[in-house]
Amino acid sequence: MKPPRALLVCGVLSSLLYVVIDMVAAICCTDFHSFTSQTISELMARGAPTKPFVDPLFLFYDVLAIAFGIGVWMCARRNRPLRVTAGLLVGYGIVGLPGPRFFPMNLRGAGDTGEDIRHIILTGVIVLFIIGAVGFGAFALGQRFRSYSYATLLTIVVFGVLSGIGARGLATGAPTPWIGLAERANIGAFLLWVAVLAFSLLRSQQSTAATSS
């Protein structure tokens, strides 16, 4: 089944939107936002000045991610790794939907760790979907994309570990001078991978159309 190009374009748009959300938050709340020392989750934290306008945008991001996953599924046909990748991308978007509303973290140093644990669990599930999607996607589109996916996985793991180490200071309100950079490198690697996957599938679709004609 040939997917509408719009569904594949949603992959590119979702990655761009994520970056725009971070940029808009920095512009609107310069006193609160920090690219270097603050995590993305803090933009959605209870009581954060950025929460009212980033929450709807992140929900829209998840909708775009789900639409892209559906587009990937429609591209997969008999390509089993691509089908699994598509399912994981849809799952990633679905699991992320309730995050801003029902699983936000507390502002750093708030002291109430119960809500933070729920947020951490949800984040862990999302990370598993990300790693699964990139891992299965590595076997979907040839050797060059496989090597690129392996490099993406390595980046996600390395900067994910660094983010986890830095996150220990969030609950206590301790300084986290580099956690924002580590987390944004982690997330950015996945966002770029999604965009590359989208472009690869769009190009494959164009080549197939040209051959057919």
The answer to whether 66 touches 96, Cβ cutoff 8 Å, is no
* pLDDT for residue 208 is more than 80: no
Query: Exposed/middle/buried for 210, CB within 10 Å: 0-12, 13-18, 19+?
Result: exposed
User: In degrees to the nearest 10, what's the CA dihedral of 9, 11, 15, 16?
Assistant: 10
Residue 3 pLDDT: 64
pLDDT band at 212 (very low <50, low <70, confident <90, very high): low
Q: Tell which residue, 67, 49, 59, 57, has the closest CA to residue 96.
A: 59
Q: Tell which residue, 22, 24, 27, 39, has the closest CA to residue 180.
A: 39
What are phi and psi for residue 46, nearest 5 degrees? -60, 125
pTM: 0.93
- Output 106 or 145, whichever has higher pLDDT: 145
Residue 174 pLDDT: 77
* pLDDT for residue 165 is more than 70: yes
1-41: pLDDT as tens digits: 566 899 999 999 999 999 999 999 999 898 999 999 999 99
Count CA atoms within 13 Å of residue 171 on its CB side: 13
Residue 93 pLDDT: 97
Give residues with Cβ within 8 angstroms of 1, minimum separation 6.
74, 77
| pLDDT mean across residues, the chain | 91
